[in-house]
């Protein structure tokens, strides 16, 4: 029997009959039709304006980086404006960083005090965005840094994989990892947060995991099948993405920019075993309807001040859309909000012009 309209997530309203039979199939059909989504990287790194990897690249000590919380004032983060802008651009969904590699969270979490609700802002930005997405029938994907954390005391150390931790000149006193058994503290933290995201923010379009290289380095540490099973159980319609793929059972892959190119990078950075995992996972995903993620800045995903006046133009975005469609992919196009949470004016103008041309 088809689901009643009131029980169908708003973004799946046009797929209600299929949803009543199989929520995941309905979500996959919707995703294949969606074509275009908005990506947002926003967090403490936005304050510095040097990209989302600034803590790592500049080896900022944990205690020093944490002081940015006192400067976190997202006064112009306007979920109503953001969702209207996405709709105006012709987008069907939004993917937002709930927790990036620096471990700062934009949602209300009991697993960590390091979040926007405990900051001077006292705001649950993910909750605000979820409310507006539900109201306007936009899908909401929750980005979560599953396989990297530069702050958590029990994430595995730099010696195992060079992006696992910043290259500090002296040992970071907050790091406590001693053996693989210690990683279970991180797993418990991560699963607690995922359970919060999947139970406190209504129906979501999916969970978008990152960074795949962190998983390829030590796949034996991550209970990936248990994680996926929890998502399926808590929200059957929620799609799962993990970049090119961790197991090949993901609902879609989302390689960066030009498509699949990760196996060679794994071979160079980690070794043949990781390259084999990468290739096998991609092989499991490549025949599905996938996604290409790209950014309106020249390269950075979080706001980078030096890239001002160099953001991609409407012509370039339309070419990205065509290139993605030619690969049987959606385009997930990123903007890095400014420190105050506002969308960069160059990106606002570009997205509106893209939407105007698409409607024409």
Same domain for 116 and 11: no
pLDDT at 260 over 80: no
Render the burial of 331-359: b for 16+ CB within 10 Å, e for the rest. Answer: bbbbbbbbbebbbbebbbebbebbbeeee
pLDDT value, residue 268: 65
Interatomic CA distance for residues 266 and 255, integer angstroms: 14
pLDDT value, residue 1: 36
Quote the tokens at residue 215.
């998983």
CATH number at residue 80: 3.20.20.80
Torsion of CA 227, 147, 132, 46, to 10 degrees: 170
pLDDT value, residue 2: 38
> For 33-73, how does the pLDDT look when each residue is reduced to its tens digit (9 = 90+)?
999 999 999 999 999 999 999 999 999 999 999 999 999 99
Same domain for 57 and 6: no
Quickly list DSSP for 258-320: TS--HHHHHHHHT-HHHHHHHHHHHHHHTTS-EEEEEESSSS-SS-BGGGTT-PPPHHHHHHH
Residue pair 290/258 in contact by the 8 Å Cβ criterion: no
Interatomic CA distance for residues 292 and 298, integer angstroms: 16
Distance, CA of 74 to chain centre: 19
Same domain for 351 and 230: yes
Same domain for 260 and 149: yes
3-class SS of residue 34: helix
pLDDT value, residue 264: 65
pLDDT at 4 over 70: no
- pLDDT mean over 17-25: 97
Same domain for 181 and 293: yes
Domain with 298, as residue range(s), is 35-359
Same domain for 216 and 318: yes
pLDDT value, residue 160: 79
pLDDT value, residue 333: 98
Same domain for 74 and 4: no
Interatomic CA distance for residues 207 and 214, integer angstroms: 17
**Beta strand segments in the chain, E:** 36-40, 93-99, 139-145, 206-210, 239-242, 290-295, 329-335
Interatomic CA distance for residues 209 and 143, integer angstroms: 6
Same domain for 67 and 8: no
Quickly list DSSP for 188-208: HHHHHHHHHHHHHS-S-SEEE
Same domain for 233 and 349: yes
> For 138-152, how does the pLDDT look when each residue is reduced to its tens digit (9 = 90+)?
999 999 999 999 999
Number of domains in the chain: 2
| Residue 157: φ, ψ to 5° | -85, 170
pLDDT at 324 over 90: yes
pLDDT value, residue 275: 74
Same domain for 12 and 116: no
User: Helix, strand, coil shares of the chain as percentages rounded to 5?
Assistant: 45, 15, 40
Same domain for 253 and 115: yes
Quote the tokens at residue 121.
């802002």
pLDDT value, residue 276: 77
> For 165-223, how does the pLDDT look when each residue is reduced to its tens digit (9 = 90+)?
999 999 999 999 999 999 999 999 999 999 999 999 999 999 999 998 899 889 999 99
pLDDT at 3 over 50: no
Same domain for 233 and 157: yes
């Amino acid at each position: 029997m088809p689901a009643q309209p009131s029980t169908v997530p708003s973004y799946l309203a046009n797929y209600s009959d299929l949803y009543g039979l199989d929520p995941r199939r309905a979500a996959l059909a919707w995703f294949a039709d969606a074509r275009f989504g908005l990506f947002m990287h926003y967090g403490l790194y936005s304050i510095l304006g040097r990209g989302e990897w600034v803590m790592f690249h500049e080896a900022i000590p944990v205690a020093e980086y944490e002081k940015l919380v006192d400067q976190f004032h997202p006064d112009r983060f306007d979920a109503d404006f953001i969702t209207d802008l996405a709709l105006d651009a012709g987008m069907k969904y939004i993917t937002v960083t709930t927790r990036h590699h620096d471990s700062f969270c934009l949602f209300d979490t009991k697993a960590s005090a390091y979040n926007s609700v405990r900051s001077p802002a006292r705001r649950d930005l993910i909750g605000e965005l979820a409310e507006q997405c539900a109201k306007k029938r936009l899908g909401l994907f929750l980005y979560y840094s599953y396989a990297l954390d530069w702050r958590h005391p029990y994430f595995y150390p730099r010696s195992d994989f060079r992006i696992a931790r910043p290259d500090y000149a002296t040992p970071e006193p907050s790091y406590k990892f001693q053996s693989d058994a210690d990683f279970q503290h991180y797993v418990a933290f991560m699963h607690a947060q995922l359970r919060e995201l999947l139970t406190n923010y209504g129906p979501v379009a999916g969970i978008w995991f990152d960074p795949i290289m962190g998983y390829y380095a030590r796949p034996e540490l991550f209970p990936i099948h248990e994680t996926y099973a929890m998502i399926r159980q808590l929200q059957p319609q929620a799609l799962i993405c993990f970049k090119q793929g961790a197991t090949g059972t993901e609902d879609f892959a989302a390689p960066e920019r030009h498509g699949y190119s990760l196996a060679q990078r794994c071979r160079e950075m980690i070794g043949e075993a990781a390259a084999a995992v990468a290739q096998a996972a991609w092989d499991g995903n490549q025949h599905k309807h996938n996604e290409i993620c790209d950014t309106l800045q020249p390269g950075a995903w979080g706001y980078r001040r030096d890239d001002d006046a160099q953001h991609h133009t409407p012509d370039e975005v339309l070419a990205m859309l065509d290139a993605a469609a030619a690969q049987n992919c959606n385009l997930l196009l990123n903007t890095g909000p400014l420190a105050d949470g506002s969308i960069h004016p160059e990106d606002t103008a570009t997205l509106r012009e893209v939407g105007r041309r698409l409607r024409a």
